[in-house]
Amino acid sequence: MPHTRSRLSTEEMRQLALDAARTILIEDGPQSVTLMAVAKRINRTHANVLHHFGSAGELRRAMAEMMVGRIIREIGEKVVEARQTESDMREIVDITFDAFEKQGMAALMSWMILSSDHEGIAPILDAVHNLVEELGEHRGAPLRQITQILVLTALGEGMIGGPIAEALEVPREAARATLAHQLRIMRGW
């Protein structure tokens, strides 16, 4: 008896493909996120994935939007919580660094920047901007500058954090601790 695949709605198919693309990104890097690789991973045809995204670039952009949406929500919730409890910035630093390092945002953003994929990077930058606008200033803390330092440091850490920590003979965790301390000073706590 031949194996049949279940028919998926457009939204289910897109989500299945995006989840597979994210897994490929984390395991093999952004250059490996192709329509063919995603199709193979989800047991669909290249044409089927192409139909839902149009190109590998569009697939990567949709994946970036999905990923940044999740990350922004989590960071936004932690910032609100930190403001209410006056807790440490470390959790926010960890969430941001993990997103760039472990969830593949540094690799994906670097790939887009180096590929001159300005359309792909725009939704990421817009999401960060919108979060800062939504959160607004709090007790005079320079939120825009804090966000800039946090994102740039997390991007760098995600790209070269391990090798530079090893070269300098410092613990990998040192950048997170140092940044959390500096952000605490900037917030005035």
Each residue of 96-139: pLDDT tens digit?
999 999 999 999 999 999 999 888 899 899 999 999 999 887 77
- The pLDDT assigned to 85 comes to 83
User: How buried is 4 (Cβ within 10 angstroms: 0-12 exposed, 13-18 middle, 19+ buried)?
Assistant: exposed
CB atoms within 10 A of CB 153: 21
Query: What are the pLDDT digits (tens) for 55-104?
Result: 988 998 999 999 999 999 999 998 888 888 877 788 999 999 999 999 99
Tell me which DSSP letter residue 2 carries: -
pLDDT in tens, 24-52: 999 999 999 999 999 999 999 999 999 99
On whether the CB atoms of residues 28 and 67 are closer than 8 A, the answer is no
